[in-house]
Amino acid sequence: MMNVRPTLDLTPATKPQRAYGHARLTVKAVKGRTRIATLYQEGCAKIRLPVTDNASLEAVIINTSGGLTGGDEMRWQFDAGDDCHTQIATQACERIYKASSSVAQVETTLSVGENASLAWLPQETILFERSALKRTLTAHLGATSRALIVEPVVFGRKAMGEDVQNCTFRDRWRIYRQDKLVHAEDFTIGPETAVMLARPALLGGMRTMATILLLDHDAERYLERARKIIGEKGGASFWSGKLLARLVDEDAYSLRKRLIPLIELLNQKAGVPKVWSI
């Protein structure tokens, strides 16, 4: 009888390619102007710094992979030193595509020094059918820091006929002032997204939303004007040195018509980043 040796399968296991990006920007005050201290970029995370005609610094972040899907990871870190003034925006909307397995993860860390201000103003995150995203945002503020944090989210684009029935989205915020927790929230939806969005306690059938958080010692002075801008589709409140607003709407275009004036109000002279209108 002939002995037959078993053949070995030397073909490596096929693994889908995943996107990874990590970027870090630290800024410092130099003769009354905000300037780069350190800049680090890895993978598909890029930071661009447009030339401005004022003393503040504007950063535009870019995910060169063109979107995220299950297993992708992005990490952003921004540190505004004492007396610095900066705002950060995305070049375009971040798209979260269908995930065959696992989830996309985005981690953002903000640090704001004394007498400094930072505005985190990304454009919309668009969630597609059967997408999965886990996102965390952590901010550390000094006693005299000012921070404006805005996060708009779109569950499928109405103009493109996109209906999101099932997806998973988890959003976690933790904000500290002088190492004391001053704001915490967790938003979780899915997998039966459409059913949950229809509930009056969530979006009441709307498909877009935005959360706006202003942390400033005089944030209360904006409250009434903010409520007029928001109107009936949302609300705003103030307590303990922070103004919190929520907006909902039928589509991203309608949401922007109120969100942009609200940012212009809360972001003082800096207004809305130019990339929002490109």
pLDDT at residue 18 in the model = 86
Provide block-wise average pLDDT over 10 residues at a time, the chain (278 residues).
52 70 97 95 96 90 94 97 97 92 94 97 96 97 97 85 86 97 93 88 87 96 97 93 95 94 93 86
Q: Give 234's strand partners.
A: 247
| Structure confidence at residue 156 (pLDDT) | 81
What does the pLDDT read at residue 240? 87
Give domain limits for the chain: 30-277
CA angle 110, 105, 152 (to 5 degrees): 65
Angle between helices 223-230 and 252-266 (to 10 degrees): 170
Dihedral sign from CA coordinates of 220, 225, 229, 232: positive
Q: What pLDDT does residue 101 have?
A: 81
Record the pTM.
0.91
DSSP state of 11: P
Q: How far is CA 92 from CA 67, 140, 210, 237, in A?
A: 10, 26, 16, 29
Are the beta carbons of 230 and 222 closer than 8 angstroms? no
